[in-house]
Amino acid sequence: MWKYSKFVKNIHSTLTTLFYLLITINCYSQESQYCATQTSEEDIQFINNNMDLIRYYENEYFLIKESKTSTALTSIPVKIHIVTNDDGSGGIEINDVLSELDEVNSYFQNSFVEFFVCDDVNYINSSSLYDFDSDTQQDLLFSNHQSDILNIYFVNDISFGAGGACGYTYLPGNSNQYYDAIVMDNDCTTSTDGTTLTHEFGHHLNLIHTHGPQNGSLTDELVNGTNCSVAGDLLCDTPADPELGGNNVNNVNCLYSVSGTPPTDAQGNLFDPDTSNIMSYAPQVCTNTLSDDQYARMYAGYHAFKNYYACPSLNVDFNTEENTIDCGEQLVVNFNDNSTNAVNWEWDVDGDDVIDYNESSFSHTYESPGNYDVSLKISDGSETITKVFPNYISFSANIYETSKIYLNVSVKNGINENTWELKDSTGSIIYSGGPYDSNGLYEHEFDVALDCYEFIMYDSAGDGLTNDSWNLGSEYYELLDENNVTIKYGRDFGFEESTSIKNEYLSLSNPLDFNFMIYPNPANDYINLKSELIIDRYIIYDIKGSLISEKINNSNYLNISLKNIYSGIYFLEIKSGIHKKTVKFIKK
């Protein structure tokens, strides 16, 4: 049976547009496929099993998108492999690869990443692999893999099953680096209208076809979107797709139309798909968009599953040490570069798109609480790469109004390792405890007044509270105020960890209290606040005390969206003049 790519080579170059139309028409057939990436049941199960982690990074993406001031992008390395004939003839031109990579980056910058070519191109002189059969030759081709990087292979054509394909890759469902690869057909790469490489990058960072995981069967996603998070491509801003292709999308006006009886979803509704989406099988002349949810999913796909990609000759890396001063009102951070082959540095340590330092190591003082992006651009004198660390610095000033501090210490296997001290502003130890000679949860209560305190947790073994037990649970320590607000949660702190606590409690009998209602609680997408006083401001913290959001207000009624907050326990602090109150709520 002839392969589609062989047919392409025999027609005149002016028929390129017809070539892509025919590919799209036949993309579901056994003969040829525009994209040969398979989304297996295991891939779907992997996504479902890791949905909490994926949602965490998706929520981070939307929070960054809303407040991002830096234009820095994380540079992701790729290793380019170009297959030629035995004598070195043939093969795609590297400039064509770079041009296509520029197009990919024009989309992926919206996921706050960009791809760059790491080191020299690897030319593979093999006439056998030049016309590549994925069924019988993949192991041989992938033997050229470089570890800890995305390997991209460019071949003359791809035999896939009984037909051919423009490209394929693997979703992140398998941690084996064998699958850190994209394979591309040269003609599909260089096509003026082609978006195959962008499409395959999308798959590699966890996007599914908009028509769902299976070719040849009608999507289970409903047109009204009520099951969008569990059907189709598992995303809710891409309309249900009834398997777009050259047979139902006009490649001139890109309109969806069906001859005969049009398909409907399970509720009898007609489809209204997006023919411009790159992750669809619409004619490539029509595809030029990706959705916000797709950008968020790819952001999550990289940060959750592929952030180990590194270029061996040039890679960004650093470590930090943090210390609070002025009773926790300022944070001093020591930055130390560990990058590979860096000779020049450009640090933006607060996400304002302004270069703060050009040294390899330095100290910076954060004078106000907040979450700060850190980006580092390095150069070896010829090449330059950047890596962005969203919310790398999370600084919440430990200022409280409480008459008591509570300490919970959970000990499992780390017997007789942990002691602690609570000191006042004079340095005097006012409370101390430990070590603990048996496993269990130890609870302590401290009376405190208007002062600056320092709490120090020690571990004689130097491994913090990390000696967990599979049947007894986790080790940790937690400090809380009298409103059950977490002051500090600690586990992996080495030999010791210090926390400053500024207490502004005036020993008055609740003069600053006032009444308000919060509902629903637990909540899904929003919470409502109704207060007897005008609410000037509200702040949301997570259980570790990190600032999630804050907003100035002038109303006694609030409707607060929780769409960009992942599931968990949170604390809402509202202020009205000199009045302040904190309440716990749960996001389902």
Mark whether 477 and 525 lie in a shared domain.
Answer: no
Q: What pLDDT score was predicted for residue 74?
A: 94
Domain boundary among the residues 503, 533, 563 is at 503
For the chain, the average pLDDT equals 87
- Is 157 part of a structural domain of the chain? yes
CATH number at residue 330: 2.60.40.10
Nearest partner of 458 among 414, 399, 515, judged by Cα: 414
Mark whether 48 and 114 lie in a shared domain.
Answer: yes
The Cα 419–Cα 385 span in angstroms is: 44
- Is 257 part of a structural domain of the chain? no
Mark whether 493 and 538 lie in a shared domain.
Answer: no
pLDDT at 145 over 50: yes
Tokens for 573?
């602090």
pLDDT at 30 over 70: no
Mark whether 101 and 144 lie in a shared domain.
Answer: yes
Domain boundary among the residues 306, 333, 363 is at 306
Mark whether 407 and 553 lie in a shared domain.
Answer: no
Instruction: Write the CB contacts of 360 (distance below 8 Å, at least 6 apart in sequence).
Output: 336, 337, 342, 345
Cα first-last separation, the chain: 54
pLDDT at 465 over 80: yes
The Cα 367–Cα 167 span in angstroms is: 51
How many helices and strands (H and E) does the chain possess?
Answer: 10, 29
Mark whether 20 and 162 lie in a shared domain.
Answer: yes
In this predicted model, which residue has the larger pLDDT, 255 or 25? 255
In this predicted model, which residue has the larger pLDDT, 120 or 323? 120
- Is 548 part of a structural domain of the chain? yes
pLDDT digits (tens, 9 = 90+) for 360-401: 999 999 988 788 889 999 999 999 999 999 888 988 777 788
**What order of strands is seen across the sheet that includes strand 384-395?**
344-348, 370-379, 384-395
pLDDT digits (tens, 9 = 90+) for 442-456: 999 999 988 899 999
The Cα 583–Cα 521 span in angstroms is: 11
pLDDT at 238 over 90: yes
Q: Tokens 């270069």 map to which residue?
A: 355
Q: What pLDDT score was predicted for residue 320?
A: 95
Domain boundary among the residues 479, 503, 527 is at 503
pLDDT digits (tens, 9 = 90+) for 272-286: 999 999 999 999 999
The Cα 294–Cα 10 span in angstroms is: 37
- Is 141 part of a structural domain of the chain? yes
Mark whether 342 and 445 lie in a shared domain.
Answer: no
The Cα 254–Cα 572 span in angstroms is: 48
Task: Please give the DSSP secondary-structure letter assigned to residue 234.
Answer: S
CATH number at residue 433: 2.60.120
Q: Tokens 């489809």 map to which residue?
A: 271
In this predicted model, which residue has the larger pLDDT, 178 or 215? 178
Q: What pLDDT score was predicted for residue 374?
A: 94
What number of residues does the chain have?
Answer: 588
pLDDT at 18 over 60: no
Mark whether 193 and 53 lie in a shared domain.
Answer: yes
Helix (H) or strand (E) holding 5: helix 4-9
Q: What is the mean pLDDT of residues 524-548?
A: 78
> Using only C-alpha atoms, what is the Rg of the chain?
28
Give the pairing type, strands 318-325 and 113-117.
Answer: unpaired
Nearest partner of 498 among 427, 443, 446, 449, judged by Cα: 427
Mark whether 495 and 522 lie in a shared domain.
Answer: no
Instruction: Write the CB contacts of 498 (distance below 8 Å, at least 6 apart in sequence).
Output: 323, 454, 455, 456
106 phi/psi in degrees, rounded to 5:
-65, -25
- Is 181 part of a structural domain of the chain? yes
pTM value?
0.71
* Range of the structural domain that residue 440 is part of: 399-503
**What order of strands is seen across the sheet that includes strand 418-423?**
399-400, 496-503, 451-459, 418-423, 429-433
Mark whether 536 and 408 lie in a shared domain.
Answer: no
Mark whether 58 and 199 lie in a shared domain.
Answer: yes
127 phi/psi in degrees, rounded to 5:
-65, -30
The Cα 106–Cα 430 span in angstroms is: 59
Q: Are 422 and 405 within 8 A, CB to CB?
A: yes
Q: What pLDDT score was predicted for residue 545?
A: 63
> Within 13 Å, how many C-alpha atoms sit on residue 514's CB side?
19
- Is 169 part of a structural domain of the chain? yes
- Is 561 part of a structural domain of the chain? yes
Tokens for 129?
């692999």
Q: How many domains does the chain have?
A: 4
Mark whether 32 and 173 lie in a shared domain.
Answer: yes
CATH number at residue 95: 3.40.390
- Is 15 part of a structural domain of the chain? yes
CATH number at residue 526: 2.60.40.3080
Torsion, Cα 166 171 177 180, to 10 degrees, reads 30
pLDDT at 565 over 50: yes
**What order of strands is seen across the sheet that includes strand 404-411?**
440-447, 404-411, 476-481, 486-490
The Cα 325–Cα 182 span in angstroms is: 49
The Cα 294–Cα 205 span in angstroms is: 10
